[in-house]
Structure 1
Amino acid sequence: MATIHRWTGLEARALRSALRMSVRAFAEHLGVAVNTVSKWEKLLGSTQPKPDTQAILDTALARADAPAHHRFEILMSELGSSVRAAARHAADEPETWEHESWADDLDRAVTAAARQNFAFAERLLTRRLRRVTCTQLDDRGLYLFARSTSLLGDLKRDQGALSGPSSAQHSYVTSRAVFAQLGIPRRVAQIDLSLAVLMEMTSRLDAAALQYDALAVDDRLSRRDRARARLWVGTTLSKDGDHDYATRVMWAATHEFEALDEPEDWSLAHQKLALARRGAGDLGTAQQLIDTARASGTAESPMQRVRLDTAHGHILLSDTATRDDGLRVLDQARRTAARYGLVHQLRSIDEIKADGSGPIGLLRK
């Protein structure tokens, strides 16, 4: 997620363009006068909104959806390269790579990935990535390359391809290098968070916990991402058997999500807490927590449904009185995971069923 330390008219215009609003609509969206926005548009970097308006712009950016954030970051990346781009010969101009079309494909790939339509999302990404090399791209193209490569890493991760030349690990490392080259520290830190998830998924729990712990206080990340890192410190502790301490760490993250008004993260935290209490043998509390997660989470995507059903089934399986119900819920989760190619989830479910009421299965973030 992009962040602006000091807004000027230039950044305000970029936000308006990213939100695809007219000057009047943008003014109404912010609750400021149309003349104020017109002044920003005219004076650009030579004018700065008042402190209270700075906060309004911060809020407008924070509440923008993911596609708008992508467009905003692309527009911001262009600011640093406009002079250099103008000097290039038309035949070598990065605009020949049809950046706008690429950005649209990236937005479509984000939507497809959220629905676990992996094949379509991967086609949208790879048809662009195969046509370019980093040496051919300006800053805007490099940003699109890094975002596409990062999203490709997410797809590989969800499909269980965690290491190797065509894996999530390879994609993330490539993306991180480009974001570092562009000087976008928040994106670099977000990739570091994704790499820590891979460590956890491949059972490198100590290394993952150390990385999560560092990122939980890393100012490059948003407050929400820092809370997520704190929650995932708890998951690694729980998987390593330290369920009581894990519970305390996760509760802190849960309170942070409540303060941030992030209901989906709050629901996910209850799911993780439920598994920690299951690991501690506190099945009554575990059932209460998973009931809260099921009641408060939307589970709109197949991945969300599989995660929630897997956690619920795992808890039910841990009690002899509800063992059959647990197997039924896990079988349902397995069918959904198989349908959408969620390979890592399939492995987790099979491990849980094989272990019975044994150690917690390796649930992905």
Structure 2
Amino acid sequence: MVNVQEWTGLEASALRAALRMSMRAFAEHLGVALRTVAKWEDLGETTQPRPDTQAILDTALARADALALARFERLVFGGSQADGRTADHETWTEDIDRVIVCLSRQNFTFAASLLNRWLSSHSSRTFDPKGLYLYGRSMALLGDLQRDQGVILGPLSARQSYATARGLFVELDIPRRVAQIELSLAVVNEMAGQLDHSARQYEQLATDERLSRRDRARARLWVGTALSKEGNNEHATIVMATATREFEELGEPEDWSVAHQKLALAHRGAGDLTRALHYIDIARQSGTIDSPMQRVRLDTAHGHILLSDPATRNDGLSVLDQAAQVAQRYGLSHQLRSIEGIRKGQRG
């Protein structure tokens, strides 16, 4: 039921609780009457919102942040367990929330310890559906951790963790989660240099209704990234500009900032350094999340652009040095390899 096919008052009430809103605030958030929200609370699964309100709830769910989504899924999946597994599930869910925060700050050591606490002591074959779901979420987050550290190939890699998580979500019949994992696998393929394959995956996912509009826009942006890496920079800028407009319409400032960073690199590849510097300046000034990963990505892109002009080459090397120091400090090995690749390209 995580991928809500038909909303009832039960799911609507769960969404309100997951967003941590009062009934009045939730009614204002959706643009519906307070008595409508009160009806959902009172009648639960015995009442169904009207079709137009179903669409409003779909949008509200798609716009919810990761922690709110986790709470919503926990509430929808929740149930009493006579053997004490409910408390176990609650603790596990809290640890998953902590892992999400740790990964946003690149605190990989603590994130890994929280995940291993569950993954190393349990077998997915022993779980009820909710435990299986939590195991799948943990495997997906382990994949995120491995991806951010640059561990993308081999038996203990992001690709393997994502594949395991995908299999579990297929078994649980949660199409949205399956599609999100497929998007993550496409990113891994791009990082591994499989540009044609990843571009095809992105193109398919950019119109995949299993994904939220935001995730579809991300897939479209990454189509542009793959095109740019293949040297098709003019087409890449057109695709990226479309995704950028979608992020603006959706009110997603961080994605909008990332899109400008990628646009800057595509214009650099096309030889238009003036536009490249313009877009990277927008990206550096507009980002709302100050994480080590994002700082390294922005500085790497900025340094790469500066290196492309002999007049600013020394400035570019200095910016790349700063990015490398931060990447080294936080164990961002994929970013370190990217920086070294840029330096070698300049020396070549």
Within the alignment, does 1:286 sit opposite 2:276 as a pair? yes
Give the Cα–Cα distance (whole angstroms) in 1 for the partners of residues 144 and 199 of structure 2. Answer: 20
1:356 match: secondary structure: helix
1:161 match: secondary structure: coil
Q: 2:262 aligns with which of 259, 272, 284?
A: 272
Alignment of 1:17-96 (within 5 A): 17-21=17-21, 26=26, 35-51=35-51, 53-78=53-78, 90-91=82-83, 94-95=85-86
Rate the CA distance shift 1:36–1:227 in 2: closer, same or farther, 3 A.
closer
Q: 1:247 aligns with which of 229, 237, 240?
A: 237
1:169-218 per-residue CA deviation (whole Å, 9 max, x = no partner) reads 11100000001011011110111111011111011111111111111111
Give the Cα–Cα distance (whole angstroms) in 2 for the partners of residues 299 and 42 of structure 1. Answer: 39
Is this contact kept in 2: 1:94–1:136, CA < 8 A? Answer: no
Q: 1:200 aligns with which of 175, 181, 190?
A: 190
TM-score under structure 2 normalisation? 0.93
Give the Cα–Cα distance (whole angstroms) in 1 for the partners of residues 139 and 145 of structure 2. Answer: 10
Within the alignment, does 1:99 sit opposite 2:89 as a pair? yes
Is this contact kept in 1: 2:62–2:213, CA < 8 A? Answer: no
Q: Structure 2: which amino acid aligns with 1:95?
A: T
Cα deviation for residue 133 of structure 1 reads 1.1
Cα deviation for residue 50 of structure 1 reads 3.6
- Give 2:136's aligned residue: 146
- Give 1:361's aligned residue: none
Cα deviation for residue 299 of structure 1 reads 4.4
Within the alignment, does 1:15 sit opposite 2:10 as a pair? no
1:9-52 per-residue CA deviation (whole Å, 9 max, x = no partner) reads 11122223323456566556656566544432332221112445
Is this contact kept in 1: 2:199–2:223, CA < 8 A? Answer: yes
Is this contact kept in 1: 2:153–2:159, CA < 8 A? Answer: yes
Gaps of 5+ in 1: 359-365
Is this contact kept in 2: 1:8–1:48, CA < 8 A? Answer: yes
Q: CA RMSD in A?
A: 2.1
- Give 1:362's aligned residue: none
Q: Structure 1: which amino acid aligns with 2:187?
A: V
Q: 1:311 aligns with which of 282, 289, 301?
A: 301
Is this contact kept in 1: 2:149–2:331, CA < 8 A? Answer: yes
Is this contact kept in 2: 1:243–1:280, CA < 8 A? Answer: yes
Give the Cα–Cα distance (whole angstroms) in 1 for the partners of residues 203 and 28 of structure 2. Answer: 41
Rate the CA distance shift 1:27–1:269 in 2: closer, same or farther, 3 A.
closer
Rate the CA distance shift 1:240–1:60 in 2: closer, same or farther, 3 A.
closer
Gaps of 5+ in 2: none
Is this contact kept in 2: 1:314–1:357, CA < 8 A? Answer: no
Q: Structure 1: which amino acid aligns with 2:263?
A: L
Within the alignment, does 1:167 sit opposite 2:147 as a pair? no
Give the Cα–Cα distance (whole angstroms) in 2 for the partners of residues 271 and 357 of structure 1. Answer: 24
263-272 or 115-124, which deviates more: 263-272
Is this contact kept in 2: 1:317–1:357, CA < 8 A? Answer: no
Give the Cα–Cα distance (whole angstroms) in 1 for the partners of residues 322 and 312 of structure 2. Answer: 16
Give the Cα–Cα distance (whole angstroms) in 1 for the partners of residues 26 and 234 of structure 2. Answer: 49
1:201-252 per-residue CA deviation (whole Å, 9 max, x = no partner) reads 0111111111111111111111111111111111111111111111111111
TM-score under structure 1 normalisation? 0.89
2:121 match: secondary structure: coil
Give the Cα–Cα distance (whole angstroms) in 2 for the partners of residues 24 and 237 of structure 1. Answer: 47
Is this contact kept in 2: 1:94–1:137, CA < 8 A? Answer: no
Give the Cα–Cα distance (whole angstroms) in 2 for the partners of residues 267 and 27 of structure 1. Answer: 31
Give the Cα–Cα distance (whole angstroms) in 2 for the partners of residues 22 and 217 of structure 1. Answer: 35
Is this contact kept in 2: 1:94–1:138, CA < 8 A? Answer: no
Alignment of 1:90-129 (within 5 A): 90-91=82-83, 94-95=85-86, 98-129=88-119
Cα deviation for residue 340 of structure 1 reads 0.7
Q: Structure 1: which amino acid aligns with 2:274?
A: G
- Give 1:133's aligned residue: 123
2:163 match: secondary structure: helix
Cα deviation for residue 357 of structure 1 reads 7.8
Give the Cα–Cα distance (whole angstroms) in 1 for the partners of residues 244 and 347 of structure 2. Answer: 26
1:247-289 per-residue CA deviation (whole Å, 9 max, x = no partner) reads 1111111122122221211111111111111111111111111
Q: Structure 2: which amino acid aligns with 1:278?
A: R
Q: Structure 1: which amino acid aligns with 2:288?
A: T
Give the Cα–Cα distance (whole angstroms) in 2 for the partners of residues 46 and 276 of structure 1. Answer: 53
Cα deviation for residue 106 of structure 1 reads 0.4
Is this contact kept in 2: 1:230–1:253, CA < 8 A? Answer: yes
Rate the CA distance shift 1:146–1:53 in 2: closer, same or farther, 3 A.
same
Alignment of 1:341-356 (within 5 A): 341-356=331-346
Alignment of 1:255-270 (within 5 A): 255-270=245-260
Cα deviation for residue 136 of structure 1 reads 1.3
Cα deviation for residue 110 of structure 1 reads 0.3
Cα deviation for residue 130 of structure 1 reads 1.4
Within the alignment, does 1:225 sit opposite 2:215 as a pair? yes
